[in-house]
Structure 1
């Protein structure tokens, strides 16, 4: 049975024709910030911003009024050089929008986000930085030490690398005993600028330089001056890049005797307790600060430490008892004894490694995690567990059963796909050893020009058995492996056998460089965890929090897209995503809450072992609310308790907007699909192009359970070419997929240069998976 869509004729913008209309987006916004208590004229340039009516901000303390909106050019799709499509480019109007921005005198300093609201929906996110310092505009020519621009401190210099090889110099006076801070803010604003700061004295002698501070791309220099005099600060791009008027190489330079926190110890405390914190840095005054931790719930909880400083450190809020590292934690032979559960606050200062001993029962599962870089420490931790004899505790024995290699090109440590030379002996769910990481196959390629896709979270490759994903060069060997107990005796087969130990470098998605490990004790006894920096570095700033505790399962929700533009009569498909903690894999029921009248949304379940599900948000024909905040709630039963979490979307300005019908409508001939390992199923698609749109239409099939794939779709995937209106695709299910019934979605997608997707979903389909005939028998 075909779905019948009710088509509603709407008045469109007179300045825009239907022909592959890109969602509204801007490419530049300048200046990149402003001074607290002042007004700023902000110029935004972008596409399809005609009719923009409002500026939405992520935080209070700042507001804006649209003053002018000028259309500077009109562009339409043109013949394509790509043989798979006839047209390329969007139907867009170029706009230049000027805003009067008012920054309150008491506005919070730091980064603000904003979006423009237009008749075509809301735009991508922009960035704006609020400073408490007086601003100084960079003035050329200042390319040499002798031509350095004189500035009065303290100030924020607003500058730009306006050409390749550009060098900006700034001259200032300093007094003996002064501690001056020099900080670049650029990458946080979306700039490509990779800054380098270099300090010179009046004779041209180099005193100090910095490229990246800790793991941030932006540099920072702190210098204590020993003599009165004039000094010069040079600003350059690390790769000598630059370009004028694009704002891609804009920067903001804070300089002066500014308070700056370089380290805090300890990095946090237990919820509901009070403690004293040692604060180190520059121009801070007091070195001890009291703090009372709120009773927060949820994973990775933190709270701001109230300090008047250029940066804003946050303290970790833990859930278990805490202690401080002692001098007894310096050797494997004589480690510090701890009682679980515990969070140990330590630092790698006097020694490059610390040791802590705990007892565990055979089969007991414990979570070990490091909190360091997430809370401002430069430590890149690695943790390892030793037994009572001082030997690394083995975790599993990997037996290689077939060999292939990575081909085509090098791959980084995050990509979910790797190009595999030969996959004839591989299957979905197989474990693969490449370098020191263990991966699990998610989807096999359908041809030689496709990657093998591995299990991932939001596109970031997952390492199994707490191995850390690495970058791999082309032709790196890959082994299909089977997993065995550490003491297994396996006959040789001519391929390697690899012992995995309880060790972790990077904890994976959401942990960054902080370590995380699941430890199951192989026997009753004492075990020692070793903490060190993977690079062998140490110092007073290398603080950490080592937590050893039983699992505390939880989940963190997010939604994509964060700013949903809802076409009339069709709606929009949203992805609800859950980050699971401590290996928990239960069902999570998710839904949108506080929807306005005449808006409806399906509910979904993020099932066992999955990270996402889909929600269909739709507006009725008589809906009148133009926009509203998106709020996602999830509920789950964890350890017999009901747990409720909501997605934190305030900083991302998560808002839904009602917009015109899409340029393509799509529906399926089927209302339901049934398949089994014995029988594939076909889904027939039909589209209707609207207005002047004539382009090709690509499709995605979403909400398929693991083990169900779209067969043989080719390099372009499921696609309807320019001159056609129908297509079909075939679904196939693996034998090990359990019988179930769920909802699947087919989404039409149009090519666009916009950072925001152009999508149109069909009505949901019911997908029923049956057992094979052999299984039934």
Structure 2
């Protein structure tokens, strides 16, 4: 049975990969990050409140990083040094110098009595320093290690010192490194309340005896570690009979996705043994969450050993974890999972080591509505547990047992949200719906922390199936890889009752298998994401951005995007997402009058979308949430929300564009029959169209752009659609709308010389023009 379930999960996983690839196939093209700093991991990935600790940041292109951005107050950071191991070419060059020096020195010494030169003599003769010799030895050790997989994206490290105030807020902080030209992707550093330790460095001596890396003498403790290939880390601690220990791993909470690893994250496995080696506990996940959690009531006094490894015995520097051990509170489930807007509700909380399991909450007023509240419930000792709570707009009821069959079905009226529970394995709740019209039934369970994998089935009075749904992919939740909540839509015939059945696809059940089932008429809506979440822009420059829209319940309208109360000098061009599109590239322009802030402090911009201003009820306004584009397992991209949309304005002014688009040109009308011309205004009298070029950004590679001189003596960009390529790539179809993103560059070729008879042209990049909306004429 386990093998069959494992195969089903594997098939489901790869189907999800395929679906994700189909949706985000253009995301990779939308990434335009250059060789700026890239952060792969932080070790340790956090620090105790009130302490100072050294952290190693690993990644690529980190050498020139001289500044940083760290979110939140009460935390400071100091960059200490940069390091990169010797490269293969550097080692080969030094090794050749040493061999040649040894041969020459040996020949010279033969005439002086045949002395054999020492290694120090050879190094001095070759001009190789002691530091270079040490780096060569490190290179040899790494090269001889059969388990090490060279990865240049992890080789460079920056050592920093993190200092945390005693009253700093607990939780995750966003860290980015900054160099003179760009800002890195974020890493999350965790600020914790418990004592923190690091695993001991691995020994060069390989032993067949299983050894303990560290003895933990105080609980609770957070153990920071890294798993290398084939490695199992072991930690010992003393425990007394009756202790109720929670052993929790944060691995995906530290690094949610690994681009070049399958399944796309460090899949940690926990094993607990007593001092005699007998297994007393095991966990490879917690419900649907990939990070394992274990609850262990200590049966007798003694020493216990925790083992942690990767499920496939993989490992490398970015397999970083934080392992918490102690009698700490942990929430395993809540009920109900939400409450109506502008109401008071009592929430029952289940879990381990909880001294308080009831929580009274007042939801926000309707005019300040937000779909999710983040709640904190106090426990003894000033400790708090956190959980999300959904806030609804409709009346709410609780399921009433027994309601397991159509004859026992609970009658409900739309719109409504039902708070229910699948009480035991095989349980099914049935609801009777009267009246006709359009119906949307949506389950919120997995998205709110419940282990329920729901299935919805709609039947008529005779038991005939009308509609069915198992899983609904909610692309707004980038950290979920199994979208297990259901979403069903159907048209109900009037005058007859219909029945909605909900159960668990895995046929499990219990007190923690809770759900919220919303039934309502279709409510078209949308959600926005903007990438990249971090930019460095020179004053006077234009940079591309990408805006993604997730449309819900049939929403298919234009969305106008705008900056929210922006600082002076910031502007969005090409700011309309046409109906039918789920992604469009725009540009952000920064005026030459914008001054760089001290310490490269970023501007934190906000963006929103607006649609349907003429609809009843007014415009539909939604925030555009900044996101980081993360890849999972070579193929699947996720738009992971981050805290802020950061724009750093570089103190150096951008280069002057050789021409501009007249203010009156607000749209390009493309034709499949003839060429289109956009007038341009040269910036100087010496403008030469023979050396200035324009590239149209992908994915519009069926459109060619050329600068020409017009019959009237002016200049224009000639746009020509390759009809065959457009048809093959399904681009630029009649009535299609979008944005033209065009980069401008100059090519200069030096005169041939005897030494260089065929000189290659030298390119000077000017950057991007503001995005220009386009529409393709209807006629072919």
Q: CA deviation at 1:263?
A: 0.8
Structure exhibiting the larger radius of gyration computed from Cα positions: 2
Distance 2:86 2:616 in 1: 60
Distance 1:547 1:232 in 2: 46
Is residue 2:402 matched to residue 1:328?
yes
Q: CA deviation at 1:741?
A: 7.2
Q: CA deviation at 1:603?
A: 5.4
Which one of the candidate residues 344, 348, 354 is aligned to 2:428?
Answer: 354
Q: CA deviation at 1:768?
A: 4.1
Q: CA deviation at 1:743?
A: 4.3
Secondary structure at the counterpart of residue 514 of structure 1: coil
Asked whether the equivalents of residues 372 and 388 of structure 2 are also in contact (C-alpha less than 8 Å), the reply is no
Deviations 1:503-562 (A, max 9, x none): 342244236321112222134321111111222222221111111122333332221111
Q: How is 1:399-410 mapped onto 2 (pairs within 5 angstroms)?
A: none
Deviations 1:561-606 (A, max 9, x none): 1112224544111122232332222222111233333333325122
Residue 93 to residue 366, structure 1, CA distance change in 2 (3 Å): closer
Deviations 1:689-712 (A, max 9, x none): xxxxxxx9986346xxxxxx6549
Of structures 1 and 2, the one scoring higher in RCO (CA 8 A, sep 6+) is 1
Is residue 2:102 matched to residue 1:102?
no
Asked whether the equivalents of residues 669 and 777 of structure 2 are also in contact (C-alpha less than 8 Å), the reply is yes
Residue 332 to residue 747, structure 1, CA distance change in 2 (3 Å): farther
Which one of the candidate residues 177, 182, 190 is aligned to 2:247?
Answer: 182
Which one of the candidate residues 202, 205, 230 is aligned to 1:165?
Answer: 230
CA RMSD in angstroms, aligned pairs only: 4.2
Where does residue 652 of structure 1 map in the other structure?
643
Where does residue 746 of structure 1 map in the other structure?
742
Which one of the candidate residues 316, 335, 339 is aligned to 2:390?
Answer: 316
Which one of the candidate residues 337, 346, 367 is aligned to 1:276?
Answer: 346
Asked whether the equivalents of residues 666 and 761 of structure 1 are also in contact (C-alpha less than 8 Å), the reply is no
Where does residue 252 of structure 1 map in the other structure?
322
Where does residue 420 of structure 1 map in the other structure?
none
Deviations 1:183-221 (A, max 9, x none): 111222227532111111232221221112222222111
Corresponding residue pairs, total: 598
TM-score (norm: length of structure 2): 0.68
Is residue 2:77 matched to residue 1:32?
no
Distance 1:147 1:658 in 2: 50
Secondary structure at the counterpart of residue 374 of structure 1: helix
Q: CA deviation at 1:133?
A: 0.8
Distance 1:345 1:630 in 2: 38
Which one of the candidate residues 759, 767, 772 is aligned to 2:774?
Answer: 767
Asked whether the equivalents of residues 113 and 652 of structure 1 are also in contact (C-alpha less than 8 Å), the reply is yes
Where does residue 335 of structure 2 map in the other structure?
265
Secondary structure at the counterpart of residue 327 of structure 1: coil
Deviations 1:402-431 (A, max 9, x none): xxxxxxxxxxxxxxxxxxxxxxxxxxxxxx
Is residue 2:137 matched to residue 1:63?
no
Residue 145 to residue 258, structure 1, CA distance change in 2 (3 Å): farther
Where does residue 356 of structure 2 map in the other structure?
286
Where does residue 436 of structure 1 map in the other structure?
none
Asked whether the equivalents of residues 273 and 293 of structure 1 are also in contact (C-alpha less than 8 Å), the reply is yes
Distance 2:63 2:228 in 1: 32
Secondary structure at the counterpart of residue 652 of structure 1: coil
Q: What are structure 2's unaligned runs of at least 5 residues?
A: 1-32, 90-151, 259-264, 478-482, 627-640, 681-692, 707-717, 746-764
Secondary structure at the counterpart of residue 328 of structure 1: coil
Distance 1:507 1:605 in 2: 26
Is residue 2:580 matched to residue 1:628?
no
Where does residue 55 of structure 2 map in the other structure?
42
Q: What are structure 1's unaligned runs of at least 5 residues?
A: 1-19, 77-90, 394-500, 686-695, 703-708, 719-725, 750-757
Where does residue 530 of structure 2 map in the other structure?
559
Residue 622 to residue 656, structure 1, CA distance change in 2 (3 Å): same
Distance 2:616 2:766 in 1: 39
Deviations 1:590-637 (A, max 9, x none): 112333333333251222222334432122334323541121022223
Is residue 2:269 matched to residue 1:196?
yes
Where does residue 338 of structure 1 map in the other structure?
412
Where does residue 82 of structure 1 map in the other structure?
none
Distance 1:535 1:360 in 2: 29
Residue 123 to residue 153, structure 1, CA distance change in 2 (3 Å): same
TM-score (norm: length of structure 1): 0.68
Q: How is 1:605-624 mapped onto 2 (pairs within 5 angstroms)?
A: 605-624=576-595
List 4+ stretches of structure 1 deviating above 6 A: 70-76, 91-95, 661-672, 680-685, 733-738
Which one of the candidate residues 17, 22, 37 is aligned to 2:35?
Answer: 22
Which one of the candidate residues 216, 219, 226 is aligned to 2:299?
Answer: 226
Distance 2:271 2:606 in 1: 46
Distance 1:539 1:504 in 2: 20
Q: CA deviation at 1:180?
A: 0.4
Distance 1:392 1:571 in 2: 55
Q: How is 1:635-714 mapped onto 2 (pairs within 5 angstroms)?
A: 635-637=610-612, 638-649=615-626, 651-659=642-650, 673-676=668-671, 700-701=697-698, 710-711=701-702
